């Protein structure tokens, strides 16, 4: 267990900590993490900007359980000003003890990152299409789709490999 917190009650910029934790998830340095801030909202937004991060803001035990069971959340976010200490302990326990159910939920979870990749690629390609004079749009679209499938396939394989090693 590694504590990346501020170790003080001084005001800080929560995105710095959310990004640090999200990068550790993306790099597979850690499998799961917990973020805590005032409401948890800013941390959730920050962490979920990273592909492969499924941060769930859980202010009750049921949400914590379902975020693992159906969404395979890998980051638990708790609002420190919203949740009391005893409930926070219960939320963390439930979240840590709940495994991903898989099955039909696997396909749904995989769609989360696929959608993110498609939007990013679309934005990048759209910027440059206006500057290119003669483009075979169908060939370009096929190339982009193949690139997305490769990225999603690599992420899925890495996730499966991690679970076979006892992770997750």
pTM of the model: 0.70
Q: Do 93 and 151 fall within a single domain?
A: no
Active-site residue, selected from the candidate residues 37, 58, 105, 122: 37
Over residues 106-140, the pLDDT tens digits come to 988 888 877 666 666 666 666 666 666 666 777 77
Give the per-residue SS3 of the chain: CCCCCCCCCCCCCHHHHHHHHHHHHHCCCCCCEEEEECCCHHHHHHHCCCCCCCEEECCCHHHHHHHHHCCCCCEEEEECCCCCHHHHHHHHHHHHHCCCCCCHHHHHHHHHHHHHHHHHHHHHHHHHHCCCCCCCHHHHHHHHHHHHHHHHHHHHHHHHHHHHCCCC
In a domain, 127, yes or no: yes
Count of structural domains within the chain? 2
Active-site residue, selected from the candidate residues 58, 70, 105, 137: 70
In a domain, 1, yes or no: no
Over residues 67-92, the pLDDT tens digits come to 999 999 999 999 999 999 999 999 99
Q: Do 19 and 89 fall within a single domain?
A: yes
Q: Do 89 and 109 fall within a single domain?
A: no
Residue ranges making up the domain that contains 117: 104-164
User: Is 105 considered catalytic here?
Assistant: no
User: Is 58 considered catalytic here?
Assistant: no
Q: Which of 41, 63, 97 is the last residue of a domain?
A: 97
In a domain, 8, yes or no: no
């Amino acid at each position: 267990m590694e504590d990346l917190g501020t170790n003080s009650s001084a005001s800080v910029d929560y995105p710095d900590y959310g990004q640090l934790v999200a990068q550790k998830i993306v790099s597979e340095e850690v499998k799961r993490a917990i973020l805590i801030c005032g409401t948890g909202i800013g941390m959730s937004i920050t962490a979920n900007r990273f592909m492969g991060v499924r941060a769930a803001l859980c202010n009750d035990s049921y949400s914590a359980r379902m975020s693992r069971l159906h969404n395979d959340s890998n980051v638990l976010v708790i609002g420190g000003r919203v949740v009391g200490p005893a409930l926070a302990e219960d939320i963390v326990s439930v979240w840590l003890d709940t495994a991903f159910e898989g099955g039909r939920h696997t396909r749904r979870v995989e769609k989360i990152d696929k959608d993110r990749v498609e939007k990013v690629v679309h934005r990048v390609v759209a910027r440059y299409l206006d500057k290119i004079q003669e483009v075979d749009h169908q060939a370009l679209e096929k190339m982009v789709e193949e690139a997305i499938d490769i990225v999603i396939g690599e992420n899925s394989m890495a996730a499966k490999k991690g679970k076979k090693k006892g992770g997750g």
